Structure 1
Amino acid sequence: MKIDRILGNLESGLGANKLSSKVQSLTLTLSQRTRASGARHFWREHLRRIQFANPNLPIHVNFPRELCTPKLDIQFTNAAVDSFSISGMKSDDICNQLLDRTKQ
């Protein structure tokens, strides 16, 4: 059935991991005018799995009209922010970098 396939995709694969409790929120900033295919694929595929595995984690996606460098901000509970550019990266690399930076 279709629902089984959808749930199977959300529950498995890269990004279907429970993040550390020290992570307070994620913010993805991606310009409307940039091509950034890796960042857009990360948004469509991996971010959905992360949200499914971490339902209480606030995830914000910003699409400013002006050109900007795609970036991902990780807000931790101690008020620290880890921000990194995802320009030119593949979606799997973005997800792996996020998982590495949020390890317990």
Structure 2
Amino acid sequence: MAIKAVAKVVPPKIPQKIDLVLDWLRAPPRLQLRGVQKLKISLAYRNDHFGARHFVKEQLPRIRFANPNLDIQVEKALKTKSEGWRPEIELVFEDSKQKTLDLHEKWSTTILKELMDTAGTEGWARWKTNALANGLPVIPGEENESRARVSTDVRRLPSLKEFRAAKQRVEAANPKANPPRMTPKPSPATEAPPDP
């Protein structure tokens, strides 16, 4: 009795999670930026700036994937309810020009469209034109922007940098209101004996 050996070729399997992540990163439209050297985002760590936080979570990884050499900085600062400052994106272009985008009370899809309209490539312009011509949303999820709550507060909030500078000026002008922190003196039991 002869035994036949049959070689079975099994293609290597890519884990499904990686496949899904790569599909998400490569999803159209490609978020490639033109002429941008640095992108800095400042926003609240929690309890505020929801659109900016969703943008960082949903769109920033796709921007990083499409622009691997772009310097991206995210500053998440703690913010109390009494503090009032706005989230923003600072763009620094290769020709040293700067542009700041106000993100206050904007949806992540609105933020992405503003960023891409400011610094997107021709591919973005083609994508936007085709989507609008076919009656499709430019960014998935933008159809819900009409449900956004519109604020009745018309005052302009300072940026995080402006807020911190104003806070330092107030603290410097009124040092008694914010006394410096005192370090407790060590107890005699914990002090080192004097050198002879």
In structure 2, what residue type is equivalent to 1:97? E
Match of 1:10 among 7, 25, 28: 25
Find the aligned partners of 1:62 and 1:82 in 2 and give their Cα distance. 17
In structure 2, what residue type is equivalent to 1:92? T
Counterpart position of 2:75: 62
Residue by residue, what CA displacement relative to the aligned partner does 1:44-63 show, whole Å, maximum 9, x if unpaired?
01011000111110100012
Find the aligned partners of 1:24 and 1:52 in 2 and give their Cα distance. 15
For residue 32 of structure 1, report the CA deviation from its aligned partner: 2.4
Coordinate RMSD, CA, aligned: 1.6
Find the aligned partners of 2:102 and 2:45 in 1 and give their Cα distance. 16
Normalized against structure 1, the TM-score is what?
0.89
Q: Say how many residue pairs are matched.
A: 102
Match of 2:55 among 31, 42, 48: 42
Secondary structure of the residue that 2:37 maps to in structure 1? strand
Find the aligned partners of 2:37 and 2:31 in 1 and give their Cα distance. 15
Contact 2:88 2:100 (8 Å CA) reproduced: yes
Counterpart position of 2:91: 74
In structure 2, what residue type is equivalent to 1:63? K
In structure 2, what residue type is equivalent to 1:100? D
Find the aligned partners of 2:44 and 2:73 in 1 and give their Cα distance. 14
Greater share of residues in strand: 1
Q: Which 5+ residue runs of structure 2 have no aligned equivalent?
A: 1-15, 122-196
Contact 2:44 2:87 (8 Å CA) reproduced: yes
Q: What percentage of residue pairs aligned between the two structures are identical?
A: 33
Normalized against structure 2, the TM-score is what?
0.49
Q: Which 5+ residue runs of structure 1 have no aligned equivalent?
A: none
Find the aligned partners of 2:115 and 2:41 in 1 and give their Cα distance. 11
The runs of at least 4 consecutive aligned structure 1 residues that moved more than 3 Å come to none
Secondary structure of the residue that 1:61 maps to in structure 2? strand
Structure exhibiting the larger radius of gyration computed from Cα positions: 2
Higher relative contact order (CA 8 A, sep 6+): 1
For residue 73 of structure 1, report the CA deviation from its aligned partner: 0.7
Find the aligned partners of 2:99 and 2:47 in 1 and give their Cα distance. 23
